[in-house]
């Protein structure tokens, strides 16, 4: 079941929710200060891949207010950049 890839073009968190075996599937955010990518949770340590607390503070470097959403545009731009030949093939 891969419905999470269909409901949104955004890349979703592949971490595991603490206290269960469910995939997190939270929206990913990126820290502008250190580049760390992770989901945002309402409480600390809710997800194995959690990157930000409820206030948007980076759990990696501790920077506050540096969280930005990873949108689909970021990914398509990055992929075109990594694979330039794919954009020139008709
Ligand atoms: Zn997560
Ligand atoms: Zn950071």
CA 4 to ligand 2 centroid distance, Å = 26
Ligand nearest to the CA of 56: 2
E strand residue ranges, the chain? 28-31, 37-40, 50-52, 67-69
Residue 24 has pLDDT above 70, yes or no: yes
Among 7, 9, 14, smallest CA distance to 49 is for: 14
Total domain count for the chain? 1
Domain that holds residue 33: 1-71
If pLDDT is split at 50, 70 and 90, which confidence band does 77 have? very low
What is the whole-number distance in angstroms between the Cα of residue 58 and the centre of ligand 2? 5
Question: How many whole angstroms separate alpha carbon 29 and alpha carbon 27?
Answer: 7
Residue 88 within any structural domain of the chain? no
Distance 78 CA to ligand 2 centre (A): 20
Q: Which of 9-18, 45-54, 67-76 has the highest mean pLDDT?
A: 45-54
- pTM of the prediction? 0.65
| The predicted structure's pLDDT at residue 44 | 85
Count the residues in the chain.
90
Q: pLDDT tens digit string along 26-52?
A: 989 999 999 999 999 998 889 999 999
Q: How confident is the model at residue 69 (pLDDT cuts 50, 70, 90)?
A: confident
Beta carbons of 37 and 30 less than 8 angstroms apart? yes
In a domain, 9, yes or no: yes
Q: Separation of 82 CA from ligand 1 center, angstroms?
A: 25
| Inside any domain, residue 45 | yes
């Amino acid at each position: 079941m891969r419905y999470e890839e269909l409901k949104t073009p955004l890349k979703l968190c592949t971490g595991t929710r603490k206290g269960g075996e469910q995939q997190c599937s939270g929206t990913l955010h990126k820290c502008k200060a250190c580049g760390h990518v992770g989901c945002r949770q309402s409480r600390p340590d809710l997800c194995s891949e959690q990157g930000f607390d409820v206030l948007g503070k980076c759990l990696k470097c501790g920077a506050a207010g540096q969280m930005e959403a990873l949108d689909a545009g970021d990914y398509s731009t990055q992929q075109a950049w990594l694979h330039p030949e794919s954009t020139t093939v008709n």
